[in-house]
Amino acid sequence: MRGPHNIWRLIRTGATLERTGAMGVVLDAFDAPRSLRIAARVLGWPFKWLGYEGDPAMPPATRALSALGPAYIKFGQVLSTRPDLVGNELAVQLRVLQDKLPPFPVAEAKQMVAHELGAPADSLYATFSDPVAAASIAQVHKATLIDTGEVVAVKVLRPGIERAFRKDIDAFWLAATLIEWISPGSRRLRPMDVIAHFEGVVKGELDLRLEAAAASEYAANTKDDAGFTLPSVKWDFSARRVMTLSWAEGVSMGDNDAIDAAGHDRAVLSERVLQLFLNHALRDGFFHADMHQGNLKVAPNGDIVALDFGIMGHIDEYTRRVYAEILFGFIRRDYMRVAEVHFEAGYVPADRDVDEFARALRAVGEPIFGMDATRISMGRLLSYLFEVTERFGMETRTELILLQRTMVVVEGVARSLNPHMNIWKVAQPVVEDYIKKSIGPRAILSDLNKTALVLARFGPRLPRLVEAALIRQAQDPAPFSRSPWWSRLLWGGTGLAVGLVLALATQVLF
C-alpha cells in the first residue's frame, strides 16, 4: 500500500502546498534542511497548476490542508497538539483549523445506522434530523428514540472515510520514508514517529466504540464532580460506525452574550472549567484533550457539559506525581526542589549540573511571577519549562505535550469568560489537595496497601513457593552461602519488607 501508486497523491499535495503558499511556512516550521527544501520545491513547483486553490481567506497552512480533504484536516489538528514538532506559531494556526465539511445526505446516514445496528433507522428513531454538525470524520444528527421518547445525538462516520484515511496515511508513510531517504539529517524531525502518532489517533477516532468507551470512563471518573455533567452513552444504539448519546441542552461556552442572558456567572464558570481540567489531569490521569469552546456547553442549571471524546489524554500515576511536585515547587518558587525532582525522575540526564539547571528554572519562573496576577499563565510556564528541559537533554514526552496544549486551550476558555481571573489562585487548592493525597504519609500507606493487595492475589501460591525455595536451599545451601554479603543482606531485607507489607495488609483487610 505504501508503493509508487501513492506518488501521484504526494505530487498533488506538494502542488497544493506550493499554490497556497504553505510550502515555505511548513518547511520553516520544521526547520527543514536545505536538501529537503530543494526536493520539496522540485516536487511542488513544476506541478503547481495541479494543486487545489483552497480558501484565500485562510492562513496558508490551514488553507492547504482544508483543500486537501479530511485526512489532511485531521493531520493538521493532530499536529496542532505538537508544538514541539511544528513550532508554536504554526501550532496556533493549525489549532483554529476549520473542521467543517459539507454534510453527507441523511439517507446515507440512515443506511449506515441500519447496517451497523441491524435495524432500519426509522424503527429505532421516531425523528432523525438533518445534520446539526459536520466534521472531517463524522457528522451528528438530533434524533428521538422510539422506545423511550428520549432526545439523543447520533454520531455517524462519513461513508468511505476509513478507506480514504487508509489511502492518505499510506501516502504519508511514503512521504516520511522519502524524507528520511532524501535527507538523513531530517531524521531529527522524527517524520516516521509523527506519522505513527497520527495513525494511532485516527484509528481511535474511526472506531466509535472506542470513543463511547472513553466517554463512559470519563463519566465514571467525574460522576461526583459538582457542576459538571456528560451525555450518557446509549450502548444499545452504538456500534463501530454509529454512536448514540443523550442530547445535551445548553448554550455554547464561547457565546458570552448567551451565557449572560441565561443568568450564569461567568467568573464562577471560568474558575470551574480550570479546576475541573486540573482535577481530571492530576486526580484521574484521564482528561479531555480537546476542551475548546466548541466542545463545551453551559446547561440551563449552570453545569458545564463536555462533548466529543475522540481525543483524550492519559498520564500514569507516577508521572502525575512528578509533575504535581514540579508545579507545586514553582508555586512555592523552590527552584532547587523542582530541579531535583527532574533528576530523581530521570527526566534530565544525571551528568548534567543540578545547580545550573535550578538557575535555568529560576530564569523561567521569576519573570512569570513578576507579572500581574491576572497575566500569569500556567500554559506559558509549561512552554518555557519544556524549552529549558530540552536544552538540558530531556526527551520529548508526547502525553505531556498534549497536557501543555490542552492547558493553553483551557486557560484561553477561562480567560474568555473572565479576563481578570488569577490562574495561580484558582489552581493552587487543586494542586495542594493532590499533593497532600499523593505525596506524603497518606500516599505511602496507600501504595503499601496496593502492594499488599497485589501480594494477596498470590496468597494461595505463597506456601508452595516458600516450600520449593526451602527444598532447593536444603539440597544445595552452597550457592546462598557463597553469595556476597550485600546480596544476602538484600534478600533478607526484601523478605523483611514483604513481611511488613503482609502484616500491614492483614491489619487493613481484617
Q: Is 133 left (phi over 0), alpha (psi -120 to 50) or beta?
A: beta
Nearest to 368 by CA among 386, 347, 383: 383
Angstrom distance (rounded) from CA 201 to CA 197: 6
Angstrom distance (rounded) from CA 198 to CA 183: 22
Q: Calculate the CA 136 to chain-centre distance.
A: 19
CA distances from 293 to 250, 347, 371, 381, 418 (A): 12, 34, 27, 22, 14
Q: Answer whether 70's CB lies under 8 Å from 137's CB.
A: yes
Q: Which helix (H) or strand (E) holds 139?
A: strand 138-145
Nearest to 209 by CA among 255, 174, 244, 162: 244
Any idea how long the chain is? 510
- Pairing assessment for the beta strands 228-229 and 304-306 based on DSSP bridges: parallel
Q: Answer whether 377's CB lies under 8 Å from 386's CB.
A: no
Give the amino acid at 335.
Y
**Could you say which of 84, 290, 303, 308 is catalytic?**
290
290 is catalytic: yes
Residues involved in catalysis: 290
